[in-house]
Amino acid sequence: DAVEGAEADEADGLRTPIVAVLGHVDHGKTTLLDTIRGSAVSEGEAGAITQHIGATAVPLETVSEMAGDLVDPTDFDLPGLLFIDTPGHHSFTTLRSRGGALADIAVVVVDVNDGFQPQTIEALEILQRTGTPFVVAANKIDTTPGWNPNDGAPIQATYEQQSEGARGRLDENLYEIIGDLSDEGFSADLYWRVQNFTKNVGVVPLSAITSEGVPDLLAVLMGLSQRYMKEQMAIDVTGPGAGTVLEVKDERGFGATVDVVLYDGSIRADDEIVVGGVDGPIVTEVRALLQPRPNAEIRVEKRFDKVDEVRAAAGIKVAAPELDDAMAGAPIRVIRDRDRADVIEEVEAELAEIQVSTEEE
């Protein structure tokens, strides 16, 4: 019955790009994710599943509703965006996929008044090292002295309605951010002036509180993915899956479970899997695939819905025996029709890589 994740795109097999949010503490990463999640839930049509384990899926129709005139859904064939819910670069660096970054694209959040801070620079270095494309969200524009908020408006619409003084103060802060990016070696500009996003970093002024400019951010992420990542997104969404463990958690009635972001293929409720563990690969069998129950009440015992299959990209909780020693950041692979020894070897190789890179840090 229930198949979650990239169900609409079976024909062309394009998966959802995975988006991570990074930036200095208190610059607004969590608030931005909450805002996107909140609007996705309220705009989402009935049936459009948005809450995943460890991630929020924003389907294309929802992106287009949130972005208004900025996104014409007929221009896109990617199914939407999957935001990883755990912000910050610690989670970004520990979340890998086959040696690269788990996220396909990143948002670096910078407080427009506070400007670049140590963790901003760290985030940029990590993105450069991993070759991850990114945009900069110049957040908290609503705190510009004299700012008149227009909730949910695209940036240019709200900008035009501000006083000259407020506009000037915002411009000054934005140019400072563009200058700081340039000092770090990135040629950057306000996103609507960027012609080639492989050469220039786009800056999106926004407010995570008033949602001004959030339509622009979604439009830019969608546009960038469609333009530059389509090939990367073309996968066999029904093939044996590959993912990364976000967290290992005990759940009442299920024992140790792993929260996973699946970035390739599919996972089914009767699959045999290999999961990276503290003492090496764990070979086990899926007992249940679990998704959070929408609007679960605290009193309701069952917090999860069981699903039969999930397709990339998606967040999913996997219940299986023997997961106590599973490791956050480790790979998870579906065996299905593949050679078991090959899959175990792959997981072993990736675990070795994780060890090397943690020692480097």
- Residues binding ligand GDP (CB under 6 A): 23, 25-31, 87, 139-140, 142-143, 207-209
* CB of 28 vs ligand GDP, minimal distance in Å: 3
Buried b (16+ CB within 10 A) or exposed e, 127-147: beebebbbbbbbbbbbebeeb
For 191, 258, 269, 277, 319, the CA distances from 253, given in Å and listed in that order, are: 49, 14, 17, 22, 10
Please identify, using beta-carbon distances, which residue of 26 and 125 lies nearer to ligand GDP: 26
* CB of 63 vs ligand GDP, minimal distance in Å: 20
Nearest to 58 by CA among 257, 208, 217: 217
Please identify, using beta-carbon distances, which residue of 162 and 207 lies nearer to ligand GDP: 207
Please identify, using beta-carbon distances, which residue of 29 and 311 lies nearer to ligand GDP: 29
Nearest to 241 by CA among 269, 268, 274, 264: 264
Q: Which amino acid type is present at position 16?
A: T
Q: Is 28 left (phi over 0), alpha (psi -120 to 50) or beta?
A: left
Please identify, using beta-carbon distances, which residue of 89 and 333 lies nearer to ligand GDP: 89
Please identify, using beta-carbon distances, which residue of 26 and 160 lies nearer to ligand GDP: 26
What count of other Cβ atoms lies within 10 Å of the Cβ of residue 240?
20
Please identify, using beta-carbon distances, which residue of 58 and 206 lies nearer to ligand GDP: 206
Buried b (16+ CB within 10 A) or exposed e, 223-236: bbbbebbeeebebe
Please identify, using beta-carbon distances, which residue of 161 and 232 lies nearer to ligand GDP: 161
For 80, 106, 232, 312, 325, the CA distances from 48, given in Å and listed in that order, are: 11, 24, 24, 16, 34
Please identify, using beta-carbon distances, which residue of 216 and 350 lies nearer to ligand GDP: 216
Look up tokens 């510009």; give the residue.
Answer: 144
Nearest to 254 by CA among 321, 180, 209: 321
* CB of 130 vs ligand GDP, minimal distance in Å: 20
**Cα 163 to Cα 178: distance, rounded to the nearest angstrom:** 22
**Cα 70 to Cα 137: distance, rounded to the nearest angstrom:** 17
Please identify, using beta-carbon distances, which residue of 95 and 258 lies nearer to ligand GDP: 95
* CB of 138 vs ligand GDP, minimal distance in Å: 10
* CB of 36 vs ligand GDP, minimal distance in Å: 12
* CB of 32 vs ligand GDP, minimal distance in Å: 7
* CB of 347 vs ligand GDP, minimal distance in Å: 32
* CB of 88 vs ligand GDP, minimal distance in Å: 7
Look up tokens 């792959």; give the residue.
Answer: 346
Compute the Cα dihedral for 329, 181, 199, 62 and give only its sign: positive
* CB of 304 vs ligand GDP, minimal distance in Å: 26
* CB of 163 vs ligand GDP, minimal distance in Å: 18
How do 96-97 and 100-101 pair as beta strands? antiparallel
Please identify, using beta-carbon distances, which residue of 22 and 290 lies nearer to ligand GDP: 22
